[in-house]
Structure 1
Amino acid sequence: MPEMKHVERIRKFNRYYANVLGKIDQEIYNRPYSLLEARVISELHDKKGAIAKDIREKLGIDRGYMSRIFQKFEADELIEKKQSPDDKRQQLLYLTEAGETIYRDLVDNANMELAKMVDQLADPDLAKLTTAMKTIETLLHGASPTPDRVVIRPFRAGDIGYVAYLHGILYGKRYHFSESFEYYVLKGLTEFMANREGGELWIAEVNGEIAGSIAITKATDDTAQLRWFVLDENYQGLGIGKQLMKTALAFCRAQQYRQVFLWTVNILGAARYLYESNGFVLTEKKPNTEWADTELYEERWDLKLIERQ
């Protein structure tokens, strides 16, 4: 048996979370379908040919109440019945086109209301919240957490736009950079696409989702530039930055570049620490008044690769 202090703590959280769910249900649903009706619609969407008994047992709904829900859905032309190909005595339930539209509206409303609820949370805190939820779900199902799968791969069609998006979101939301910075990023990426000789751009994925990027471009025959090093804050703490840096520097050595440099800004403490730990040295500093209202300095960092071969 677990200690009573743990049991009490779980019960306290349960009471708190029940209130949170009640608020969510009140604000999201009843327009025009109740929470229970919305859950039935979701099940019908997921199953694509559901048996009424299975839905009733899964959701714990009374037989009579379930019958009234389906009668309402039929009257609203949200569902249709088709004979089961495996058992002609059974009727399978499907959402009609109107039902699928209602489902999408419910999802959109839920997403908007939940987004409002957590809007005050900074991205790192939001990541902690969702990670905690994932941990609760995993532990209560009696399974060990699945490790995040990190993959570093060369970019492919569609990635370039997302790299620019990551820069715009991160620097705009966290550091209040203006749109001129996003234009600067897009301009550089466009030039890279037009001439990729001696360079490459890599994408970091976590469980199939894009989490960051890094690139190498050719500056001169023996000098490379490291560019577009960005990491979605929701994926910090997984060592992705180190993997991206390792990939980029290994490429530089394979291309026999004698040195590599990068430009960054003074406010990026974590990135500057990573550069320094990989042997980069600060060699130049200049003020920047274009990207933000606050005092900002661009910094050039250089690394001599020849000494590491």
Structure 2
Amino acid sequence: MDEMTVNPIREASRRLVRELGFMKPTLAGTDMPPSSVHTLVEIGRRGILTASELCEVLGLEKSSVSRLVQKLVRAGELVEGASAHDGRAKPLCLTPKGRETLARIDAFASAQVRAALQCLPPHSHATVHQGMGAYADALAASRTKTPVLANPAPKIMPGYQPGIIGRVVEMHAHYYANISGFGAFFESKVASGMAEFAGRLDHRVNQIWAATDGGGHVVGSIAIDGEDLGDNSAHLRWFIVGDGQRGSGVGRALLRQALSFCDACGFAKTRLWTFKGLDAARKLYEANGFILENEQTGQQWGTEVTEQTFVRDYQAG
């Protein structure tokens, strides 16, 4: 791996350490060092931890954890219990004072995260979450010499899925507001169009597909409307892939399903409307048999753009 990849990540890591306050002797608005703050947080999340379990969670040596625990016990933040199965293992849990301290830590940290996220567009929040989580998992895997478990590939589900209308509208609104400045007119047009289309999903020439992640959340969509254009033409609509999934192959999988449906239904042509500048999408369309049919300036989405129409002829299986 070259330094052009490594160095920016190192720089971002150093900035995170500084911005989160780890260069200071105390952390999270307390008078405690970072190791003590993390000890209270992890025990609070799990309810009970032994010293050996705490060593593993914090990545610290046994002697360091022992000194850390005793200091917190003397301060009244932790209490040591007795294990019914192993006299050497002393379960650690928070005292009432420790729970109060943890509440202050949580309030400080949550406010810190919220303040940072307010400086970012809402559609990027999931990307921050996914990226930081993946990097933390990779660092832990490197330290413990264990493989990182890959997230399961999104599933492509045909038909209506609960929440799909709102989620698809949301993805469109955030993405196109960011790249093109589309606003309320565009969002309301997507919402009204999807609401009308949903009432026709039981017709055999109409279909929608959702890409869902491991948690069942919609991360992509595509639809074929076989009725609104007439002339034995299919209309490809609402094709979008959410943040964190672009470039993963989800878009190709969705488009493949939709075009297979078009050919199975025997549509002579499949058309889609987009606008100039979406180069990655255009490349994907052209790789799947679409050609540019028309290009003109228009405002059908509420903002003046160079509108484009792409068309694909029927392809026998």
User: TM tier, shorter chain?
Assistant: 0.7 to 0.9
Deviations, residues 157-196 of structure 1 (Å, cap 9, x unaligned): 1232221111111111122222211111111111122221
Gaps of 5+ in 1: 1-5
TM-score (norm 2): 0.72
* Structure 1 residues 141 and 237, CA gap change in structure 2 (3 angstroms): farther
1:300 is aligned, of 299, 309, 317, to 309
Alignment-derived partner of residue 216 in structure 1: 224
Tell me if the contact between 1:56 and 1:66 (Cα under 8 Å) persists in the aligned partners: no
TM-score (norm 1): 0.73
Return the structure number with greater helix share: 1
Pair 1:22-2:31 in alignment: no
Tell me if the contact between 1:44 and 1:95 (Cα under 8 Å) persists in the aligned partners: no
1:143 deviation in Å? 4.0
Tell me if the contact between 1:267 and 1:296 (Cα under 8 Å) persists in the aligned partners: no
* Structure 1 residues 271 and 13, CA gap change in structure 2 (3 angstroms): closer
Alignment of 1:94-173 (within 5 A): 101-102=103-104, 104-112=106-114, 115=117, 130=132, 135-150=138-153, 151-154=155-158, 155-173=160-178
* 1:49 aligned counterpart, secondary structure: coil
Distance 1:100 1:234 in 2: 32
1:239 deviation in Å? 2.0
Distance 1:181 1:212 in 2: 18
* Structure 1 residues 85 and 300, CA gap change in structure 2 (3 angstroms): farther
Give, as a single letter, the amino acid of the residue that structure 2 aligns with 1:93: C
* 1:238 aligned counterpart, secondary structure: coil
Deviations, residues 103-124 of structure 1 (Å, cap 9, x unaligned): 64355235336647988xx99x
* 1:31 aligned counterpart, secondary structure: coil
Distance 1:14 1:247 in 2: 40
Alignment-derived partner of residue 262 in structure 1: 272
Tell me if the contact between 2:43 and 2:92 (Cα under 8 Å) persists in the aligned partners: no
Alignment-derived partner of residue 193 in structure 1: 198
Tell me if the contact between 1:288 and 1:297 (Cα under 8 Å) persists in the aligned partners: yes
Alignment of 1:242-281 (within 5 A): 242-281=252-291
Alignment of 1:30-49 (within 5 A): 30-32=28-30, 34=32, 35-49=34-48
Distance 2:234 2:95 in 1: 56
Q: Which moved more, 1:171-180 or 1:241-250?
A: 171-180
* Structure 1 residues 284 and 241, CA gap change in structure 2 (3 angstroms): same
Tell me if the contact between 2:186 and 2:301 (Cα under 8 Å) persists in the aligned partners: yes
* 2:186 aligned counterpart, secondary structure: helix
Tell me if the contact between 1:180 and 1:290 (Cα under 8 Å) persists in the aligned partners: no
Alignment-derived partner of residue 3 in structure 1: none
* Structure 1 residues 145 and 110, CA gap change in structure 2 (3 angstroms): same
* Structure 1 residues 284 and 39, CA gap change in structure 2 (3 angstroms): same
* 1:50 aligned counterpart, secondary structure: coil
Q: Which moved more, 1:246-255 or 1:38-47?
A: 38-47
Distance 1:156 1:85 in 2: 49
Q: Which moved more, 1:186-195 or 1:240-249?
A: 186-195
Tell me if the contact between 2:225 and 2:236 (Cα under 8 Å) persists in the aligned partners: yes
* 2:40 aligned counterpart, secondary structure: helix
Give, as a single letter, the amino acid of the residue that structure 2 aligns with 1:170: Y
Tell me if the contact between 2:273 and 2:308 (Cα under 8 Å) persists in the aligned partners: yes
Give, as a single letter, the amino acid of the residue that structure 1 aligns with 2:252: K
Distance 1:127 1:43 in 2: 19
Tell me if the contact between 1:45 and 1:95 (Cα under 8 Å) persists in the aligned partners: no
Residue identity (%): 22
Distance 1:165 1:15 in 2: 33
Gaps of 5+ in 2: none
Report how many aligned residue pairs link the two structures: 293
Give, as a single letter, the amino acid of the residue that structure 2 aligns with 1:21: V
Give, as a single letter, the amino acid of the residue that structure 2 aligns with 1:297: T
Tell me if the contact between 2:291 and 2:311 (Cα under 8 Å) persists in the aligned partners: yes
Distance 2:308 2:10 in 1: 50
Tell me if the contact between 2:296 and 2:306 (Cα under 8 Å) persists in the aligned partners: yes
Distance 1:40 1:257 in 2: 63
Give, as a single letter, the amino acid of the residue that structure 2 aligns with 1:173: N
Deviations, residues 138-161 of structure 1 (Å, cap 9, x unaligned): 444434554553222235112322
